[in-house]
Amino acid sequence: MTHDTVLSRETRTVVSPSNVVFGVGAVDQIGDYASLHGERVLLIATEQIFDIHGERVLSILEDAGIETMVYTDVRPDPTVENIEEAHALWADRDCDVILTFGGGSSIDTGKGVGILAANDGEIRDFGVDKAGYEGVPNPTPPLIAVNTTAGTGSEATRSVVVSDESTSTKFLIVSQNVVPDVAIEDPELSVSLPRSHTAFTGIDALTHAIEAYVSVHSYSIPDGFAEEAMKRIARSLPVAWANGDDLDARADMLVGQLQAGQAFTNSSVALVHGMARPLGAQLHIPHGLVNALILPYVVEFSAMAAPEKYATVARILGAADDDDRTRAAADEAADAVLQLCEDLSLTGYLDDFGEIPTREEYLDVVDEMTQDAIDSGSPDNNPRKPTTEEIRDLYLTLYDDALAPDSPRRS
């Protein structure tokens, strides 16, 4: 029996951090790794994360003989200005190691600093719409990513997402030259994550796994990461959301989101992310929450094009079993995703995390969001290739079914 696989026809490079340090107490090793690479660290974190963990981190670095400069103005969706300000501090203080502490926003800011530190140009020059994929010529300086969430997987990826406030858009940078050298995964650090962001980052990780799994660029290695990630997230996200002190669930989620990050950075994201970036930029909704809002509709839209893959998704999420026919099982995947989102009360967070316009105001930006989604290139990776009108229709369905104050998912 033979198995058709892309690896029998061509070569692929599997991207991953050089070192992943995992488990309770892993954060205590940051001084050892930092001292391997230099003497002056630029520590990048959000103010909230630094207030919780900063004293401990600074003490560990001081004990290792490391001089530390701190940048804590990172926005939840990091901006061009965040990266430029942090890079100015890096250059002014002659730093030699980047240490990020937090989730995807801090890590992406650190990657952006590394890009500017090692390459000529402005950060916008390296977006895939301008420079293409692998458009960062030189690798970043040593980058250590300490992860405190369970969702983005950014500590394992070649992606950087940056908000451009001047145009109300987000742009994507993709290069093997931005993958962190060291990823630190300490489940104790994620206990401080509030319930809302446990939900946001958890569904973000599930979206990464599903999109990588069904992508037209998928193959056996990221498929294995994706399947394992979905299993862990399905069993542990509801537990971590319901009881944030459950270290077993927190640790399982950290492994799952890391595997999801490894899946999509070696495959790709697809239509959900293509639509999510413009929507998040326009409505100022956190990235993970945007993914949760869009994911059920894209799964329903796409299932016919990859029924075997979506049937596996449905089975992993408990909505189908092995006796169900493939297409019937695939058709259950969207409802399974929607049920998980409802279990986590995700649309209930829109009152506090989003600026929902009237339908008329929303219609004014739908065409712009649709074009931004197409320009991102991510919809091309989807198993069912959407037309411009289909993306527009998905945005309208999303508003009427999930965003509007009186919509079914919110009521």
- Of 313, 308, 337, 339, whose CA–CA distance to 325 is shortest? 308
Note the CATH number of domain 19-190. Answer: 3.40.50.1970
pLDDT at position 1: 43
Strand duo 19-22 + 182-185: pairing: parallel
- For residue 15, the model assigns a pLDDT of 87
Task: For residue 124, count other CB atoms closer than 10 A to its CB.
Answer: 17
Sign of CA dihedral 95, 96, 100, 101: negative
List phi, psi (to 5°) of 169.
-135, 165
Print pLDDT tens along the chain (411 aa): 455 578 888 888 888 899 999 999 999 999 999 999 999 999 999 999 999 999 999 999 999 999 999 999 998 889 999 999 999 999 999 999 999 999 999 999 999 999 999 999 999 999 998 999 999 999 999 999 999 988 888 999 999 999 998 888 889 999 999 999 999 999 999 998 899 999 999 999 999 999 999 999 999 999 999 999 999 999 999 999 999 999 999 999 999 999 999 999 999 999 999 999 999 999 999 999 999 999 999 999 999 999 999 999 999 999 999 999 999 999 999 999 999 999 999 999 999 998 899 999 999 999 999 999 999 899 999 999 999 999 999 999 999 999 999 999 998
Please tell me the distance from the alpha carbon of residue 209 to that of residue 234, in angstroms, as a whole number.
11
3-state secondary structure of 136: coil
Taking domain 195-403, whether its CATH number is 1.20.1090.10 is answered by: yes
Return the percent helix, strand and coil in the chain, to nearest 5: 60, 10, 30
C-alpha–C-alpha distance, residues 237 and 321, integer Å:
21
pTM assigned to the model: 0.92
All structural domains of the chain with their residue ranges: 19-190, 195-403
Instruction: Give burial (CB, 10 Å; 0-12/13-18/19+) of 389.
Output: exposed
Q: How far apart are CA 237 and CA 343, in angstroms?
A: 10
Supply the pLDDT for residue 405: 93
DSSP letter for 176, please. Answer: G
Residues 186 and 146: beta-carbon distance below 8 Å: yes
